[in-house]
Amino acid sequence: MSSDRPGAVRRARTGLVVAVAGLGVATAVLEPLRGHLSLASVTLLFLVPVAATAVAGGPWPALGAAVAADALVNFFFVPPYHTLRVGSTDNAIVLVVYVVVAAAVAVAMDAVARQRSAVARRDVEARLLAQLTAAPAAADALGGILAQVRDAYRMDAVALVERGVPVAAVGDVPGGDPALSVAAAAGVRLDAWGPPVFAEDRRTLGRLAAAAARLHERQHLADEAARGRELAEIDRLRTALLDAVSHDLRTPLAGIKAAASSLRQHDVQWSEQDRDDLLATVEDATDRMTALVENLLSLSRLRAGVLSATPEPTALDAVAADVVLHLPDHEHVKGRVALDVPDDLPLALADPGLLERVVANLVANALAAAPTVRISGAAAGDRVRLVVADDGPGVPVADLAGLFEPFQRLGDHGKPGLGLGLAIVRGFTEAMGGTVTPSESPGGGLTMTVELPAA
């Protein structure tokens, strides 16, 4: 689409080569046949190389070819032969009319070529504008469009510049001034380095620059919207965290403070049972705070993407038994937890520490909502399944998808806990290459099924 002086010179040279070759071939072929051809036929045949020169080299080489063809016809085909004298008035008229017709053919062929070039230019412009309009607001969309503009206009480099700073560029942008700079929007320009272009091409580039600026603005707005959604999510999590921590930290701290203050009262004689109860309160509150901090740290690791799992062959029955053994107030919950994990199950490919946290969180969540909990295990093809089921009130089907969101405590907002347990369960399970699926327990309640690859 560009028209530069070196290109015009190359085209003129091509036209001259076509003219010389075409006229030479026409003369060599037709001269032996001049006794059998009329002068009108000869002149019509000599129009062919003139038209070919107009297509290949433009109007000026074609006009030169027309004059040269007229001279060749006069020299070889008009009596007296091999001279430039014309023996009759009719032949002179034929030669004059031939030059006029050849010139008209050359101009017409060049006009057709220019019209074809204009149509191609408009097609390319329409295609680029359509792509700019339909291009998604993706990070690399603008660069792709600029690359097409560079290729279509045969530029060395193209850049979209906003207030003197390139926001997108293709090619090696040189340090000097651009060969072309068109306004795209307020404070935005499209700069191009390469050969100069026609005025019509400049108008086309101006429209493409405006479309590129609109695409850049769409990308900017999309980035702002994504940033706004991210900030809204951060704000929501921050608010939920502050609300939850303000409640869940205050309660154990108040218990520790009250028990410690009571033990420090020298004017009260505490019995051994009272002292044990106060110390148990301190221990229980400390355990709750430790669990809270561990959950918060685990969630931060999950969100930062720095959680690392080290899967190894792991016995599910040993992990489940260890979880039940170390439950807080073990003697109290002993009768509420039923363990049915066969010791001949295939080993699971899991991180023992992460898997223990998964099962502990599932059991703790179930015990908070139901009177009894059942832990079972089974093999499922190339997977191993661990199921934690309770007989509590269950969770509505519409709320199952939100079970794994942090700071969500469906149906038990007044109970202690940050609502992080199930979020950590899903994160840890997926880190080990497993899945966790909630479902309704037969007869009512909630069933959580953890599936892990078999070792």
pLDDT score recorded for residue 414: 40
Percent of the chain with pLDDT over 90: 6
User: 229 versus 135: which is more confidently predicted?
Assistant: 229
What does each C-alpha distance from 362 to 60, 244, 322, 367, 436 come to in angstroms? 88, 20, 14, 9, 10
If one counts every other C-beta atom within 10 angstroms of the C-beta of residue 239, the result is 11
pLDDT score recorded for residue 328: 66
Q: Same domain, yes or no, for 196 and 255?
A: no
Would 312 be classed as within a structural domain?
A: yes
Q: Same domain, yes or no, for 162 and 47?
A: no
Would 124 be classed as within a structural domain?
A: no
Which DSSP string corresponds to 255-302? HHHHHHHHHT-TTS---HHHHHHHHHHHHHHHHHHHHHHHHHHHHHHH
Q: For residue 206, give its domain range.
A: 132-223
Report how far residue 65's alpha carbon sits from residue 107's, in angstroms, rounded to the nearest whole number: 12
Distance of CA 149 to the CA centre of its chain: 21
**Coil/strand/helix, residue 440:** strand
What are the pLDDT digits (tens) for 287-309?
A: 777 767 776 676 666 666 656 77
**Which of 273, 303, 333 is the last residue before a domain boundary?**
303
Q: Are 208 and 129 in contact (CB under 8 A)?
A: yes
User: 45 versus 250: which is more confidently predicted?
Assistant: 45
As a residue count, the chain comes to 455
Q: Same domain, yes or no, for 66 and 188?
A: no
The residue-averaged pLDDT of 125-140 equals 61
Q: Same domain, yes or no, for 16 and 106?
A: yes
45 contacts: CB under 8 Å, gap ≥ 6: 26, 30
Q: Same domain, yes or no, for 421 and 315?
A: yes
Q: Same domain, yes or no, for 150 and 251?
A: no
pLDDT score recorded for residue 237: 57
Q: Same domain, yes or no, for 171 and 279?
A: no
The residue-averaged pLDDT of 353-364 equals 85
**Coil/strand/helix, residue 2:** coil
Percent of the chain with pLDDT over 70: 76
pLDDT score recorded for residue 2: 42
Q: Which pLDDT band, with edges at 50, 70 and 90, does 40 fall under? A: confident
The residue-averaged pLDDT of 125-151 equals 66
If one counts every other C-beta atom within 10 angstroms of the C-beta of residue 381, the result is 8
Would 107 be classed as within a structural domain?
A: yes
Q: Is 342 left (phi over 0), alpha (psi -120 to 50) or beta?
A: beta
**Which of 191, 223, 255 is the last residue before a domain boundary?**
223
- Of the listed ranges 48-62, 73-87, 160-174, 417-431, the least confidently predicted one is 417-431
The chain-wide mean pLDDT, for the chain, equals 77
Q: How many domains does the chain have?
A: 4
What does each C-alpha distance from 196 to 56, 181, 200, 308, 420 come to in angstroms? 22, 11, 12, 58, 64
What does each C-alpha distance from 48 to 66, 83, 281 come to in angstroms? 10, 24, 109
What does each C-alpha distance from 414 to 46, 62, 248, 256 come to in angstroms? 102, 94, 11, 20
The token pair at 135 is 């291009």
What are the pLDDT digits (tens) for 411-444?
A: 444 444 435 567 778 888 888 888 988 888 888 8
pLDDT score recorded for residue 384: 92
Report how far residue 10's alpha carbon sits from residue 5's, in angstroms, rounded to the nearest whole number: 9
pLDDT score recorded for residue 386: 92
Q: Which pLDDT band, with edges at 50, 70 and 90, does 453 fall under? A: very high
| Domain CATH number, residue 375 | 3.30.565.10
